[in-house]
Structure 1
Amino acid sequence: MTDIPVVRVGFADYDHTRDLWNGRVTSPDVTLRCTVPDRAGEVFRRFADGEWDAAEVSLAQVTERIGAGDDSLVLLPVFLARAFRHGAIWVGAGFPEDPAELAGKRIGITNWSQTSGIFVRGLLASRYGIRLEDIRWFQGGLNTPGATARTPQRGAFDITPVPGPTLDAMLADGRLDAVISSRPPASFKGRNSPVKRLFAKWTFEEMSYVEATGIYPIMHALAVRREFLRQRPQVADALVRVFTEAKDRAVARATQVSVSMYPLPWTTSNANRTMKFLGADVWPYGVESSRPTLEEFLDYAAQQGITPRRLGVEELFAR
């Protein structure tokens, strides 16, 4: 009898992975030893330091590695984090609610190769005609001064490191026209803040965007170390199956009609409305169901110098 492979895996604390670490989803083909840090950033760091056989990874970072010829990780089409990012563009309180006004302006970023930023910049370029090469980019810490991160591998982008002042302070006092960040700047405190979202009704913008394009941005995916997988090739499909089952169970919980499984009102009605809008599979795994999103992301990655050439979707998931 063949021994069942044990896979040490790390991922953040999501409801759609909950049944993996609590033991409610199991497999005859694989045994999981799960570690669940509070934040995905900690998962990324610990996986990079050699911990675990498989883990949640940033889509941008693993794409950058693959583009550079590093095949040490095998990406699986298990998309642990997705998020629309129209609400991640922050501007001064007096800035017009018109993305076209960002052309040629000064925009702060925390990391050029961050997945959310790649999608936002791609959105500005593809949907609103803004030339990214004409923007003056400032790279630094959002709410605390931070060291600057990597710059693009190619492309004529004007990027200035900002090791001292925070991007939040620069936006609030007018030294920046906008900041791209999935987290709000510290100066954002509501209606009378010195900063605001560019799109006041960002949720409606996101709905229009997915309806028009079919793109549902992917932030994080699951990756396995290639050396580990080489000795246990059956692990890849087994991981996809158990992560999919856990995700499907979470969606079923969200649509329970008798009582909400979450300490929030209207979760069931919101979940059902979302399913009418996005379809029954509101959080799809698998390559084909997410191909439009993956193709668009790879376009953005090449255009923004994250990869030296435009990768194909199959290259991302090559075993």
Structure 2
Amino acid sequence: MPPFFSFNYNLVYFCWYIRGLAWPAILIGWVAQSASLGMKDSWGPLKALIVASAINGIGDILLCRFLDYGIAGAAWATMVSQVVAAYMMIDSLNKKGYNAYAISIPSPTDLMTIFGLAAPVFVVMMSKVAFYSLLVYFATSMGTLSLAAHQVMIQAFMTCTVWGEPLSQTAQSFMPEMMYGMKRSLAKARTLLKSLTIIGIMLGLMLGIVGTSVPWLFPKIFTPDQNVIQEMHKVLIPFFMALAVTPCILGFEGTLLAGRDLKYLSLSMGGCFSLGAVVLLIVSSRGYGLLGCWCTLLGFQWARFFLTLQRLLSPNGILFSEDPGQFELQKLKAA
């Protein structure tokens, strides 16, 4: 078997350690990105996103295909791309006159406010991370070929989903002013959501087509092993359908975050994770293989899509409620 796939379980865990090295940079990058977008500066984060995606993609091909580092190479490429993205977003803030390297201690009131906002978001993020980790765990139990194919497809999936993040960030940057600002206009907020949805559908189809075509038509970019290629081709349909809906999901979730509908978002994401974990256990125990795992991922994505869409279209939702009392409450919380 080629060196690209001659790895053991210890190497898989080592890859997670490599990815973990980037977590400080990821957290700092998220804060810097949010600060820039809060000031309606999307160009700095966009440049960081483009550069990070390019580094990740080129690094995957270079380290995995040409230098035979295997999944460890993919992990290093992802880690480096995340560190570079964080540095670029910090540098973007410094160019605006802010000292992004300054350190200050928040007051207890600030900490409680941050906790009230961060705790539900933490649940959302950890639910997604835990679900993807479960996918890797169950793929690992299916053998080397299934794990190798899964690593290739999940890396391609994650690389493509990054392109939908600007929709979420756009919603979080511009929706709060339309929902709770001095010139409040829910009609404009609904128009913006409609635009984000149209862009999300178009972007999702484009990403789905491109992302599926590469492992379908050019699988030897990743590996010459025909057995692994066959495993990759088994999941192309759920891969496409899960990827195509992801940009819309990100736009919807960004809108819910902007509207401070955090309780619903965290509960729905937690429910999706719990149900997805049970389904993964069932498909694994019944021997449905890698296809079963990816069909579960497909269900996870579409459940998120329908739950967030239903919430946004609800007559009592954040985009339709004209209750001034609710507006004042949200305004006080934001203050």
TM-score using structure 2 length: 0.25
Question: Which gives a bigger RCO, structure 1 or 2 (Cα 8 Å, sep 6+)?
Answer: 1
More helix by share: 2
